[in-house]
Structure 1
Amino acid sequence: MKTSSAVLGAVIMSALAACSAGSARTVVPAGVAAGTTAWTTHGRFAAPTAALPLPDLRTYQPELVPVGAEITLVTKRSGAGASLTVTLAGVIPNRLYTAHVHTGACGADPSGSGPHYQEEKDSHQPSVDPAFANPANEVWLDLVTDGDGRGTATVTTAWFFRKGEANSLVLHAAKTHTEPGMAGKAGARIACVTEQFGR
Structure 2
Amino acid sequence: MRSTLGVLAVAVVALLGTGCGGRAVASHPAGHTPGPSVTAGVRLAGGGTLAPPAPRAAAIVYDTALVPAGAAVRVTAESGAVLAASTVTVSGMLPHRTYGVHLHVNPCGRTPDDAGPHYRQSHSHTHASAETEVWLDVTTDAGGGGTATATQDWAFQPGRPPRSLVIHAEPTRTSGAEAGSAGPRVACVTLTER
Task: Return the TM-score normalized by structure 1.
Answer: 0.70
Aligned to 1:137: 132
CA displacement, residues 108-160 of structure 1 (integer Å, 9 cap, x when unaligned): 1111111111112158xxxxx5xx31010001111111111110110001112
- Given that 1:102 and 1:117 are in contact with CA atoms closer than 8 Å, whether structure 2 keeps it comes out as yes
Please give the alpha-carbon distance, in whole angstroms, between the structure 2 residues aligned to 1:142 and 1:34.
21
CA displacement, residues 51-99 of structure 1 (integer Å, 9 cap, x when unaligned): x344111000011112321111132334410111110001111111111
Residue from 151, 157, 164 that aligns with 2:152: 157
- Given that 2:72 and 2:91 are in contact with CA atoms closer than 8 Å, whether structure 1 keeps it comes out as yes
Aligned to 1:95: 97
Structure 1: stretches of 5+ with no match in the other structure: 1-8, 13-32, 124-128
Amino acid at match of 1:101: L
Amino acid at match of 1:114: G
CA displacement, residues 32-65 of structure 1 (integer Å, 9 cap, x when unaligned): x7944656533111102xxx34411100001111
Amino acid at match of 2:131: A
Aligned to 2:186: 190
Please report the RMSD computed on the Cα atoms of aligned residues, expressed in angstroms. Answer: 2.6
User: 5 Å matches for 1:70-81?
Assistant: 70-81=72-83
Provide the secondary structure at the position in 1 that maps to 2:113.
helix
Aligned to 1:43: 48
Aligned to 1:26: none
User: 5 Å matches for 1:99-178?
Assistant: 99-122=101-124, 132-162=127-157, 163-178=159-174
Please give the alpha-carbon distance, in whole angstroms, between the structure 2 residues aligned to 1:39 and 1:184.
22
Provide the secondary structure at the position in 2 that maps to 1:62.
coil
User: Percent identity over the alignment?
Assistant: 39
Structure 2: stretches of 5+ with no match in the other structure: 1-30
Aligned to 1:3: none
Q: Structure with the greater relative contact order (CA < 8 A, sep ≥ 6): 1 or 2? A: 2
- Label 1:34 to 1:121 Cα distance change in 2 as closer, same or farther (>3 A): closer
Greater mean alpha carbon deviation, residues 65-74 or residues 145-154: 65-74
- Given that 1:92 and 1:145 are in contact with CA atoms closer than 8 Å, whether structure 2 keeps it comes out as yes
Size of the alignment, in residue pairs?
159
Structure 1 stretches of at least 4 aligned residues deviating more than 2 Å after TM superposition: 33-42, 74-79, 178-181
Amino acid at match of 1:166: P
